[in-house]
Amino acid sequence: MSKRGVFITFEGGDGTGKSTQAKMLVAALQARGVTPILTREPGGTPQAERIRDLLLQRDSGHFDPLTEALLLFAARREHLVTKIQPALANGDWVISDRFADSSRAFQGYGMGLDLETVENLYRMVAGDFEPDLTLIFDIEPEKGLARSAHKKASTVNKTESGEDRYELMGLEFQKRLRKGFLEIASQNPDRCVVINADQDIAAVHAEILEVIESRFALSPVFSGLKVDGGRG
C-alpha cells in the first residue's frame, strides 16, 4: 500500500461514553478537512451486521465462548477486508467503535477464553495489521454500569431490540473487563492511550483531540490555515 489512511479504534467497558465521543471526533476532524469513515464492531458491513444480530439478541441465548469468538472474528474478517482495508488503501481515515481489543477483553479476560486462542484468531484474520491508535476509555465499573442502566431506561427501542446481552453480565464481569483493557494498554504502549472517561463530555473530547493532534500531523490546510507554497 503506497498511501495509507489512519485507523483509530475506540475501546472500553460498557457505559464509558465512547460512541458519543467517536461521533464528536468525526465532527472535529471534519472541521479540519478530514472526512473519516465511522464504523463499528461487531458489524460495520451488511454481512457482519447479520452476525452482530446473532450475537447481541437476547433470545439467541448463550454461545460457547469459542463459538462466540469465532463469530466475532468472522464478522471482523468481513469488516476488515471489505471495508477497513480498502478505505485505508484509499488514504481515508477510519474510526471504529470497538475492534479486536474487545475480543481480548470480553471473550478473553471477561469470559475466560484462552488469550492465546484469541491471538491466534486475530493473526488468522488480520495477520500483522494493527490500528494506528487505540483509545481505551476507562471508568470505574460501578459508574459505567450506572451510566448504561440510565441510558437503557431512556432508550426504549434499544431495550426492545434486546441488544444488551453483554451488559447483563454484571459488575464482576465489568471489573475483569477493566483489568483486561488496562493490561492491553500497558502491553501496547505505542498503540494504546488510556482516556479518563470519568469527566464531562467536553473534557473527554478535549483529551482525545490532544492525543490525535500530537500523533498525526494534520496538514495546515486541514486546520484551515493557508499554505504558503514559498513562491509568494
**Residue ranges that bind ligand TYD, judged by CB under 6 A:** 14, 19, 41-42, 56, 72, 97-98, 102-103, 106-107, 163, 166
Rounded CA separation 184/12 (Å) = 11
In this structure, what are the phi and psi dihedrals at residue 57, rounded to the nearest 5 degrees?
Answer: -80, 130
Closer residue to ligand TYD in complex, CB, 19/117:
19
- What radius of gyration do the chain's Cα atoms show? 18
* Residue 23 C-beta: closest distance to ligand TYD, Å: 12
Rounded CA separation 100/123 (Å) = 11
Closer residue to ligand TYD in complex, CB, 85/96:
96
* Residue 8 C-beta: closest distance to ligand TYD, Å: 15
Q: Which of 215, 151, 171 is nearest to 13 (CA)?
A: 171
Closer residue to ligand TYD in complex, CB, 85/148:
148
* Residue 61 C-beta: closest distance to ligand TYD, Å: 15
Closer residue to ligand TYD in complex, CB, 32/83:
83
* Residue 231 C-beta: closest distance to ligand TYD, Å: 49
The number of beta carbons lying within 10 Å of the beta carbon of residue 83 is 17
Whose cell is 494498554? That residue is 185
H helix and E strand count, the chain: 10, 5
